[in-house]
């Protein structure tokens, strides 16, 4: 009996030590390299198709800005008159050949207006690139946290299965000694079956979470994950990150402001396009009959009869009004989203502190007392099983609460991420 009691006491002590230490302690595998969250984000940023698309969009916008600054190309005109007629104009005897360029001259500030639109589009593409990077960072963080949490749930399930097997051996000894009914061994055997099945489920979930992370970052994970990211909590007197509820400078509002700037530049371009351009054509004319040369100078001006540009201005003005309304709406939405995210992060931190602190400590102590009482015959098996079930549920709840806080914090950081251009 002394041997049995010593074994049960050792099992209880091991369970407490395992729970107190971070799961997957690197002391068990000292040579393993830790694959950090920062490394995962960096790897995903280079492999994500969204990041590649955002870079290509910036390059296209830069090319568009260069294109907008180019002047229109001149045109070479060749004109042959007084040919294939009758009398003296038969054949080419009286032909008059005119050769010269037609040089378009833009008026009304069209070129500078085009450049302004292209510059605004480039700024918008750069902001979108920053938005994409922030989205990738959020996605990878959530997948990384879930992978760490899944591995910790698996470690907890294995620990609970070990405890259930210890309880089965203790129940078997009690039944063989005639101190308990065979029903206790049956209950303990059922508990072991459920515990081992839970290990299988958690192992599949942990593998799936790791595969999802590998798929997102685009490369295999060469080391162990950094489990410390799950245990970062704010102080007891901190209720969410201390950031002002101000949407100014956030990525969402910067994008809305950039859209308004594009629309505003579009109005200027539409007004500039109302001014007709000139086509100046200095040329040389050769008279076939006398073999003489003469200078020719032409000026062409389009007549805005059917399209005077008013419809384009009306369209651009309406788009500017729409963009202005949307940026004001975005300011309200982002302010509300930041406030909600702050409250959610603060509540998640409170829940995590309670679940991973006093609640877990109480559940561990209750399980320890139940094991000792069951060993000494003071408590029945039902009390022991209930205490172990409560401990298992509390451990999982603590892991879930820690993961929920990390996800809430990542979401808040995504909302308050600053735009690359301070102007926005």
Tens-digit pLDDT profile for the chain (424 aa)?
A: 333 333 333 333 333 333 434 444 444 445 568 888 998 998 888 778 888 899 999 999 999 999 999 998 888 888 888 777 666 666 676 778 888 888 888 898 999 999 999 999 999 999 999 999 999 999 999 999 999 999 999 999 998 898 888 878 877 877 787 776 788 788 888 888 998 999 999 999 999 999 999 999 988 888 899 988 988 888 655 444 455 567 888 999 999 999 999 999 999 999 999 998 888 888 888 777 778 888 888 888 888 888 888 999 999 999 999 999 999 999 999 999 998 998 999 899 888 888 888 888 888 888 888 878 777 777 777 777 778 888 888 888 899 999 999 999 999 999 999 888 644 4
- Read off φ and ψ for residue 86, nearest 5 degrees: -120, 165
Give kind and range of the element (H or E) at residue 283.
Answer: strand 278-287
pLDDT of residue 2: 33
pLDDT of residue 89: 65
CA contacts within 13 A on the Cβ side of 269 = 21
Q: Angle at the Cα of 366 (from 365 to 367), degrees rounded to 5? A: 90
Q: Angle at the Cα of 264 (from 259 to 267), degrees rounded to 5? A: 130
Q: The pTM is what?
A: 0.77
401 near 203, Cβ under 8 Å?
Answer: no
Tell me, what DSSP letter sits at residue 210?
Answer: H
pLDDT of residue 10: 36
- Does CATH place domain 2-71+106-274+309-415 in 1.20.1600.10? yes
Tokens 């251009």 belong to which residue? 421
pLDDT of residue 311: 94
Residues in the chain: 424
149 near 230, Cβ under 8 Å?
Answer: yes
């Amino acid at each position: 009996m002394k041997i049995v009691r010593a074994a049960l006491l050792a099992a209880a002590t091991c369970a407490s030590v395992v729970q107190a230490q971070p799961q997957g302690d690197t002391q068990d595998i000292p040579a393993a390299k830790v694959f950090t969250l920062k490394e995962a984000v960096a790897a995903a940023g280079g492999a994500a198709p969204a990041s590649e698309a955002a870079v290509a969009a910036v390059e296209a916008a830069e090319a568009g800005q260069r294109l907008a600054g180019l002047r229109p190309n001149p045109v070479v005109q060749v004109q042959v008159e007084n040919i294939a007629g009758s009398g003296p104009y038969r054949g080419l005897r009286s032909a008059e050949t005119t050769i010269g360029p037609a040089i378009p001259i833009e008026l009304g500030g069209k070129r500078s207006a085009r450049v302004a639109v292209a510059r605004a589009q480039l700024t918008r593409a750069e902001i979108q690139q920053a938005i994409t990077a922030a989205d990738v960072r959020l996605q990878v963080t959530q997948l990384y946290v879930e992978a760490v949490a899944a591995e910790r749930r698996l470690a907890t399930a294995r620990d609970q299965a070990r405890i259930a097997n210890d309880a089965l051996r203790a129940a078997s000894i009690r039944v063989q000694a005639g101190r308990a009914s065979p029903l206790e061994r049956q209950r303990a055997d059922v508990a072991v079956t459920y515990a081992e099945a839970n290990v299988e489920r958690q192992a599949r979930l942990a593998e799936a979470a790791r595969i999802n992370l590998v798929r997102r970052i685009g490369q295999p994970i060469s080391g162990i994950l950094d489990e410390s990211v799950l245990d970062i909590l704010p102080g007891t007197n901190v209720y969410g990150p201390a950031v002002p509820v101000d949407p100014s400078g956030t990525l969402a509002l910067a994008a809305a402001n950039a859209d308004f700037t594009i629309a505003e530049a579009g109005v200027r371009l539409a007004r500039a396009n109302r001014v007709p351009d000139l086509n100046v054509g200095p040329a040389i004319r050769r008279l076939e009959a006398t073999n003489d040369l003469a200078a020719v100078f032409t000026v062409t001006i389009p007549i805005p009869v059917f399209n005077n540009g008013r419809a384009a201005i009306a369209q651009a003005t309406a788009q500017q009004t729409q963009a202005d309304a949307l940026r004001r709406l975005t300011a309200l939405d982002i302010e509300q989203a930041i406030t909600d995210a702050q409250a959610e992060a603060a509540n998640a931190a409170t829940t995590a502190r309670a679940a991973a602190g006093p609640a877990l400590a109480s559940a561990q102590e209750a399980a320890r007392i139940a094991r000792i009482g069951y060993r000494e015959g003071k408590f029945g098996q039902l009390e022991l099983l209930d205490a172990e079930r409560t401990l298992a549920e509390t451990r999982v709840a603590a892991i879930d609460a820690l993961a929920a806080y990390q996800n809430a914090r990542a979401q808040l950081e995504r909302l308050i991420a600053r735009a690359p251009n301070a102007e926005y």
